[in-house]
Amino acid sequence: MAKNRNLEEQAYYHIRRAIIARRWQPGTRLSEPQIADELGISRTPVRNAMRRLAADGMVALNANLGAQVVQPSQKLVLDTYFMREILEPEAAAMACRHVSPSDIARLEELRHQEVEAFRDRDLERFMAINDAFHILIASLSGNDVLRETVRRHITMTNAFFSLLDPFYIIGPDETDSFREHGDIVRHLARGDDGSARAAMIIHIRSSRSCLRVSRIASECEG
């Protein structure tokens, strides 16, 4: 059982990294036999990995077409960010009641790691750090249901980000994410719930706008 689980993990990260590196474009069919051959494993762990990636929003499973790299529609992108814009500002405001100096130190550490990952053009690491930043804030809300709901929506937007964001071509001075994260941390440190809420709204909207949704949707659907 442990061996099968390890093979599934191997397949999961192999496929995930290939999608993040944009080796496969949205809509690309993913062949279980080909991937299994590449890894030298059976098809079963590859199939299980595909299911996990489908739950993450990176792969679409179709009874007739099999597995494909997801093609996010404009509606799905906007609906998901709409939910994040409702949930995360409230989480940030609630976090102001519970945040400690050690929490602020951890958020600052994540900010610095995020800058390093961006400069290294390491999208997988960048997304993991960004996830940790947002999920820590959601955790500090003290509401476990809210935290898990935020986590789910972040996983979905990671699929959009990995496929559609101009991460690999923009320079460090062309993104507002680092400054916006800094604003959020500063307001949390001061316990200013209104400003923390407003700063998170700005950040979520900015993240969505980076995807240039109308152009992306037409490319993916056409």
Residues 184-209 have pLDDT tens digits of 999 999 999 999 999 999 999 998 88
Confidence bin at 69 (pLDDT 50/70/90): very high
What is the per-residue pLDDT for 20?
86
Tokens of 50: 């595909």
Label residue 217 by pLDDT band (50, 70, 90). Answer: very low
Query: Which residue(s) pair with 67 in the sheet?
Result: 30, 61
2-69 shares its CATH topology with 74-221: no
Specify whether domain 74-221 bears CATH 1.10.10.10: no
Whether 221 shows a pLDDT value over 50: the answer reads no
The structure tokens listed for 58 are 């990176």
Q: What is the pLDDT of residue 210?
A: 80
Spatial separation of the C-alpha atoms in residues 82 and 172, rounded to whole Å: 26
Bridge partners of 69? 59
C-alpha–C-alpha distance, residues 130 and 184, integer Å: 13
Give the domain ranges of the chain: 2-69, 74-221
pLDDT tier at 139 (50, 70, 90 boundaries)? very high
pLDDT, averaged across the chain? 89
At 52-65, the pLDDT tens digits run 999 888 899 988 88
Does the pLDDT of residue 216 top 70, yes or no?
Answer: no
Q: How far apart are CA 200 and CA 183, in angstroms?
A: 9
Structure tokens at 80: 């998901």
26 vs 18: CA distance, rounded Å: 12
Whole-angstrom CA distances from 222 to 8, 89, 138, 164, 213 are 33, 34, 37, 15, 14
pLDDT band of residue 74 (cuts 50, 70, 90) is confident
The CATH number of the domain covering residues in 2-69: 1.10.10.10
Residue 164, class by beta-carbon neighbours within 10 Å (0-12 exposed, 13-18 middle, 19+ buried)? buried
The residue behind tokens 């800058």 is 115
pLDDT digits (tens, 9 = 90+) for 42-52: 999 999 999 99
Mean pLDDT, residues 144-150 taken together: 96
Task: Answer whether 0.75 is exceeded by the pTM.
Answer: yes
**Which 3 state secondary structure label does DSSP give 27?**
coil
Average pLDDT over residues 6-35: 90
Is residue 5's pLDDT more than 80? no
Whether 162 and 150 have beta carbons less than 8 Å apart is answered as no
Distance (Å, whole) CA 32 – CA 40: 12
